[in-house]
Amino acid sequence: MMNHLKKGMLLALAAIMLLTAGCGAGETAPTTEPEQNVASAADTAPVEDVVQAWMTPIYGSSLKDGTYSVTVDSSSSMFSITQCELTVENGEMTAVMHMGGTGYLHVYMGTAQAAAEAGEEAYIPYEEAADGTHSFTVPVEALDAGISCAAYSKKKELWYDRTLVFRADSLPMEAFQDGAFATAQSLGLEDGSYTVEVRLEGGSGKASVESPAKLRVEGGQAYATLVWSSSNYDYMKVNDQKFDPVNTEGNATFEIPVAAFDWKVPVLADTTAMSTPHEIEYTLYFDSATIVKAE
C-alpha cells in the first residue's frame, strides 16, 4: 500500500510541474511604454507668459509681400532667438529664426508630446551659419499669437515645449496693407481739435506721458501732443523721422503724427538723464474709443 501511495504522490507532483511549466510558457513578459523623450517640468527653465492680453492675431493677408526683420518673444530664456526675418508671400508667412548657439537639433511646430510621437520627416532641421550657430525656417500662422514650438535638445536628448510670439509691432508701418489699422481717415475724423487717451509702454517703466493727450486733425492726418513726465528728452523718432520739442521749459513736449489708432506704435525717445544721451524704445497706444471733440 505504501508503494501505491508514493506512486500517487509522484504522479500528482509531476502533473503540477507540467501545469506550472505550461502556464509559464504561455505568459508574455511585462512590457513598458516606450520612452517619449519629453522634458518634464523639473527639466524645464522658468516659463514666461509671452502672450499679452491686448494682442489680436494678425494674419499674412494683412501684410504686403516682402521680407521684414521681426522680433520674436520666447517663453524660455533657454530658447533664445537673436534675429529673425519674416517673409510674406501671397498671404503666407515663414520666418528664419537665428539662434544664439547650437543647442537644438530640430524644431517641430506643435507640442513636445506631439513631436515625440511624430516621425522624423515632420521635424524641421537646423541650418548652420558661417559662425557655426543654428537657424530654423518655420511657418508662421499669425503674428501677435502664441505659437507652439517644440525644440529638441542636443545635450539632453529631450523635446521641450516653447511658446513663440512673432511681434506685429516690430514691423514697419509700411509692411501692412491699407486698412489693417485705424487712421484718422478711416475713423472719419474731421479737421479740428480733440483729446484721446494714450498709453506708453517700454523703457524702465518709470516714464509716462499725460493722458488724455491733445489731438489735432488736419488734412486727414492726426497729430498728438505728448507731454512727458520728465524734461530729459531732447528728441523723438517716429518711423525714422526726427521731432524736436515744441517747448523750451518744463517737461519735454512733442507733437508727433499718429500713424495708427488702436495699435502699439513703436517710437524712440532720446533721454539726456544718463551719463550720455541714449535712445529708448517705447510704444504708444492711442485708443480710438476715447476720442472726444475739444470744446
pLDDT (0 to 100) of residue 45: 65
pTM for the full model? 0.71
Q: How far apart are CA 127 and CA 133, in angstroms?
A: 8
User: Cell triple for residue 222?
Assistant: 492726426
Angle 6-10-12 (CA atoms, 0-180°, nearest 5)?
115
Residue 223 β-bridge partners:
216, 257
Mean pLDDT of the residues in the chain: 88
Q: How far apart are CA 264 and CA 11, in angstroms?
A: 91
pLDDT (0 to 100) of residue 180: 84
Strand ranges, E, within the chain: 66-69, 72-74, 81-89, 92-99, 104-108, 124-125, 127-128, 134-140, 147-153, 159-166, 192-196, 198-202, 213-218, 221-227, 233-238, 241-243, 253-257, 264-271, 278-286, 292-293
pLDDT at 53 over 70: yes
Q: Mind giving me the DSSP string for 12-36?
A: HHHHHHHHHHHHHHH------PPP-
For 284, how many CA atoms within 13 A lie in the half-sphere containing its CB? 31
Greater confidence (30 vs 242) lies with 242
**Overall average pLDDT of the 169-190 stretch:** 90
Q: How far apart are CA 203 and CA 32, in angstroms?
A: 53
In this predicted model, what pLDDT tens digit does every residue of 73-131 receive, in sequence order?
999 999 999 999 999 999 999 999 999 899 999 999 999 999 999 989 999 999 999 88
Using a pLDDT cut of 90, give the percent of the chain over it: 71
pLDDT band at 55 (very low <50, low <70, confident <90, very high): confident
- Asked if residue 254 lies in contact with residue 230, where contact means CB atoms within 8 angstroms, the answer is no
Q: How far apart are CA 132 and CA 149, in angstroms?
A: 22
pLDDT (0 to 100) of residue 42: 64
User: Cell triple for residue 254?
Assistant: 512733442
In this predicted model, what pLDDT tens digit does every residue of 125-154 receive, in sequence order?
999 998 899 999 999 999 999 999 999 999
In this predicted model, what pLDDT tens digit does every residue of 260-273 receive, in sequence order?
998 888 899 999 98
